[in-house]
A and B are shown apart, each in its own frame.
Chain A
Amino acid sequence: MTITDIFEETYFALSANKARSSLTVLGIVIGIGAVIVMMAIGTGATSSIKSNIQSIGSNMITVSPGTQRGVGMMVSGGRGSAKSLKLSDAEAIIAQVANVKAVSPEVSGRYQLTAKGTNTNTSVVGVTAAYAEVRSLEMDDGSFITAQNNSDTSKVAVLGPTVVEDLFGEDSDTSSVIGQIIRIKSNKTSIDVKVVGVTKAKGGTGFGSTDNQVYVPLSTAQRFLSGNQYLTGISVSAADADSTTLVQEDITTLLLSLHKITDSTKADFSTINQADIAEAASSVVNTLATLLAAVAGISLVVGGIGIMNMMLTTVTERTKEIGLRKSIGAKGKDVSIQFLVEAITLTFLGGFIGVIGGWLVSYGMTYFNITQTKVSLFSVLLAFGVSAFIGIVFGYYPARRAAKLNPIDALRYE
């Protein structure tokens, strides 16, 4: 029996029963495809959430005014408590705490903005030049608020891309926005500011989109908008991820002594470590990824059993044929090889289509913005390997057993 004969016999055997062959292939395709898609969703979700966290600014510590009541103190807690942080606190942090890369004092509030008849309500943040560095903010056009702007109390503003859309229309060119005048209306007064820059879209919706913000110099915000010298927050960027916890402790100690508070439970400010948030988020993501991997594992097992079942049924049905082939002179080896080649052909055909299909579905999910996916080589190898292994073992092994039967016993098999 030559190799060509083996392939011809395989082709004949598989095409003689098209329904059975295509169902077997379909089983393999679905098994492999499901595993690849599941794992792609898991990996994609993990990396997209991680990059979201990254976009907020890594190594960041946020100091918020108010009594310590846990996470989420951005809203002023009680009477007077929102007015506990001053610019001098921020200056003290940069002067006295080690391993600090940048400190960004901020004053934020929601105001009504108007430009050329359109208007919107959004968050206006008074910042210093350090803000861009601390929040890893990049410019799309123009420049960010400078130190000069702050010392001059300039009436300038930098817009987030969402604000540009809201005020100037969806397809406005960012460069045409530069130089435009917009009006910020607070309950006391209103100021006209000149747009000097537009930030790049960061995406990321997790912790308040930075795309929907307007930045003005800190001094301008304090004088014209909030009307006082207090801060609504200080963002501190630590030198590296390892020192964040230490920097957080140092800031707490420093501010307690500056505010003359001895009992740390009565502190009039709170600190949040970005690393803690990132860690909490990634543990959630990891749980999700594990869950998806478990579902993928189950589909692999179910798919595997399907393949097993098909292969076993096929061989059992064809025991008679094995007996016939043997009775006209086929050796056990000839029969085993034929069934092995059949099993390999089926699993590889199914595996190939399954990998392509799984990849296409994953790609489609990303393309149509359903969810972020990322096909990993590991998932492809795992899915393909397991189904090929099951397919070949359960296609070959029973055939080999049948091939060892007496031809007459195999012929009589019902």
Chain B
Amino acid sequence: MIELKNVTKVYKTGSTEFEALKGATFKIADGEFVAIMGPSGSGKSTLMHILGALDKPTNGTYFLDNKDVSTLTEDELADIRKNKIGFVFQSFNLLPRATVLRNVMLPLIYANVDKQERVTRAEASLMAAGLDKEHFSHLSNQLSGGQIQRVAIARALVNNPSLILADEPTGNLDTKTGEIVLATFQKLNSEQGRTIILITHEHEVAEHADRIIFIRDGEIVSDSKNSRKLIIK
């Protein structure tokens, strides 16, 4: 359960201030699949970072599972990121010289998961993300874009987060690979009941979600159910 009340974010560069978010208010229930859409510079990434507890709002309140995230300490935020949120970055952010398996196991190190279980869970997560077993021991910089994205998704899933945030997950992929990735998200949503929020600037991508929140110049301009949901089989 996510609840944002009048959340603003102001960036200061020297004496100039830039208001990236101008009072965002909405709720997302557990198990929803939401797309946040908007052109570049609209503030959607800023919103995503706040939702992912990677950044704090300047003003307003953000409740995650009835807990006010905006008042938490650094360490408490780290716990939230560790236990509740799986983040898929647009630029993937994998450790370049580490194997696929190591990359996926990384969050489990900080979650104090038993060593043997780390491997089991990482492998299961990679399977769920649709990566072939033969790639598990490859270095992450030896993979194709689609494979890297699967690793990034697997890493986001590995600690069983209830909320998955994906920033332009298909942005670096061709249409066909993009479809497969989106299908993975739909499956995670419909079969495992995870809340999924994805950010995109493309209509075709947003239409795979149940609900679309449209953002422009830091303001939410529309928030509606997607009546034309595309379901990939």
Task: Tell me, yes or no, whether A binds B.
Answer: yes
B residues near A9, Cβ cutoff 8 Å: 109
- The digit string for B154-174, where 1 denotes a CB below 8 A from any CB of A, is 010001000000000000000
Q: Work out how many contacts link A and B, with CB atoms closer than 8 A.
A: 69
We find that the number of chain A residues with CB closer than 8 angstroms to chain B is 27
The answer on a CB contact under 8 Å between A330 and B78 is: yes
In A372-399, which residues have CB < 8 Å from any B CB?
A: none
Closest beta carbon of chain A to B77's beta carbon, Å: 9
Whether A329 touches B81, Cβ cut-off 8 Å, given contacts A9-B109, A324-B93, is yes
Q: When A320-B93, A331-B75, A407-B54 are in contact, do A325 and B106 touch as well, CB less than 8 Å?
A: yes
* Contact residues of B between 12 and 66, Cβ < 8 Å to A: 49, 52, 54-56
A408 touches B49 (CB 8 A): yes
Bits for A300-325, please: 1 = Cβ < 8 Å to B, else 0: 00000000000000000000110111
Residues in chain A near residue B107, CB distance under 8 A: 328-329
Q: How far does the alpha carbon of A320 sit from the alpha carbon of B94 in the complex, in Å?
A: 10
In the bound assembly, the distance between CA atoms of A326 and B49 in angstroms comes to 13
List residues of chain B with CB within 8 A of the CB of A333.
75
A16 at the interface (CB under 8 A from B): yes
Chain A residues within 8 Å of B49, by CB:
408
Closest to A321 in B: B95
Contact mask A313-357 → B, CB, 8 Å, 1/0? 000000011011111111111100000000000000000000000
A406 and B55 in contact (CB under 8 A), knowing A16-B98, A329-B159, A331-B74? yes
How distant is the Cα of A408 from the Cα of B89 in the complex, in angstroms? 11
Interface assignment of A1: CB less than 8 Å from any CB of chain B: yes
Minimum CB–CB distance for A8 against chain B, Å:
8
Q: A16 touching B97 by the CB < 8 A rule?
A: yes
Pick from A328, A329, A408: contact of B55, CB below 8 A: A408
Q: Are A328 and B110 in contact (CB under 8 A)?
A: yes
Distance A37 CA – B98 CA, assembled complex (angstroms): 40
Q: Nearest Cβ in chain A — how far from B133, in angstroms?
A: 22
Among A320, A330, A406, the residue within 8 A (CB) of B54 is: A406
Q: How far is the CA of A411 from the CA of B45 in the complex (A)?
A: 13
The verdict on A329 contacting B82 (CB below 8 Å), with A1-B110, A5-B109, A17-B97 known, is yes
A327 and B54 contact, Cβ closer than 8 Å, known pairs A9-B109, A17-B97, A320-B93: yes
Q: Do residues A330 and B98 form an inter-chain contact, with CB atoms below 8 A? A: no
In the bound complex, what is the Cα–Cα distance between A9 and B95 (angstroms)? 12
Q: Nearest CB to that of B155 among chain A residues? A: A328
Q: How far is the CA of A324 from the CA of B152 in the complex (A)?
A: 12
Residue B83 at the chain A interface, CB threshold 8 Å: yes
Assess the A328–B97 pair: CB atoms within 8 A.
no
Q: Does B111 contact A (CB under 8 A)?
A: yes
List the A side residues contacting B54 at CB < 8 Å: 327, 406-408, 411
Asked if residues A328 and B98 are in contact (CB atoms below 8 Å), the reply is no
Tell me, in angstroms, the Cα distance from A329 to B160 when the chains sit together: 13
Contact present for A1 and B74 (CB under 8 Å)? no
Q: Are B93 and A329 in contact (CB under 8 A)?
A: no
* Most interface-central of B52, B78, B93, B102 (chain A CB within 10 A): B78
How many angstroms between the C-alpha atoms of A324 and B81 in the bound complex? 11
In the bound complex, how far is the Cα of B22 from the Cα of A45, in angstroms?
A: 76
CA distance A314 to B52 in the complex (A): 28
Residue of B nearest to A320 (CB): B93
A411:B93 contact, CB within 8 angstroms: yes
A329 touches B112 (CB 8 A): no
CB–CB B109/A1 < 8 A:
yes
Min CB distance, A321 to chain B, in Å?
Answer: 7
How many angstroms between the C-alpha atoms of A323 and B52 in the bound complex?
A: 13
A158 and B115 alpha carbons, distance in the complex (Å): 82
Q: Output the nearest chain A residue to B45 by Cβ-Cβ distance.
A: A408
B16 → A minimal CB distance (Å): 18
* Contact of A2 with B by CB under 8 A: yes
> Which residues does chain B contribute within 8 Å of A324, judged by CB atoms?
93, 95
Does any Cβ of B come within 8 Å of A207's Cβ?
A: no
A411 to B54, CA, bound (A): 10
Report yes or no: B106 in contact with A328, Cβ–Cβ below 8 A.
yes
Q: How far is the CB of B99 from chain A (nearest CB, A)?
A: 10
Query: Are B98 and A327 interface neighbours, CB within 8 A?
Result: no
B214 interface residue (CB < 8 Å to A): no
Residues 3-19 of A, flagged 1 when their CB comes within 8 A of B and 0 if not, give 01100010010001100
Give the CA-CA distance A21 to B64 in the complex, in Å: 42
Contacts of A17 in B (CB 8 A): 97
Q: Which residues of B from 65 to 105 have beta carbons under 8 Å from A?
A: 74-75, 78-79, 81-83, 87, 89, 93, 95, 97-98, 102
Interface contact B112-A328, CB-CB below 8 Å: no
**Nearest A residue to B91 by beta-carbon distance?**
A411
CB neighbours (8 Å) of B79 from chain A are 329
On chain B, the residues within 8 Å of A406 by CB distance are 54-56
B58 CB to closest chain A CB (Å) equals 13
Contacts of B97 in A (CB 8 A): 16-17
Nearest CB to that of B77 among chain A residues?
A407
CB interface residues, A 189-221, toward B, < 8 Å? none
Interface residues of A in 31-65 (CB under 8 A from B): none
Contacts of A411 in B (CB 8 A): 54, 89, 93
A327–B112 CB distance below 8 A: no
Given A327-B81, A327-B87, A332:B111 Cβ within 8 A = no
Known: A323-B93, A330-B110. 7 other contacts (CB 8 A): A2-B112, A12-B98, A325-B110, A326-B78, A327-B89, A406-B56, A408-B49
Residues of chain B having any CB pair with chain A under 8 Å: 49, 52, 54-56, 74-75, 78-79, 81-83, 87, 89, 93, 95, 97-98, 102, 106-107, 109-112, 115, 155, 159
List 19 A-B pairs, Cβ < 8 Å.
A1-B110, A1-B112, A12-B98, A16-B95, A16-B97, A320-B93, A321-B95, A327-B52, A327-B54, A327-B87, A328-B81, A328-B107, A328-B110, A329-B107, A329-B111, A330-B110, A333-B75, A407-B81, A411-B54
Can you list the 4 inter-chain pairs with the closest CB atoms, starting with the nearest?
A: A329-B82, A16-B97, A328-B107, A331-B78
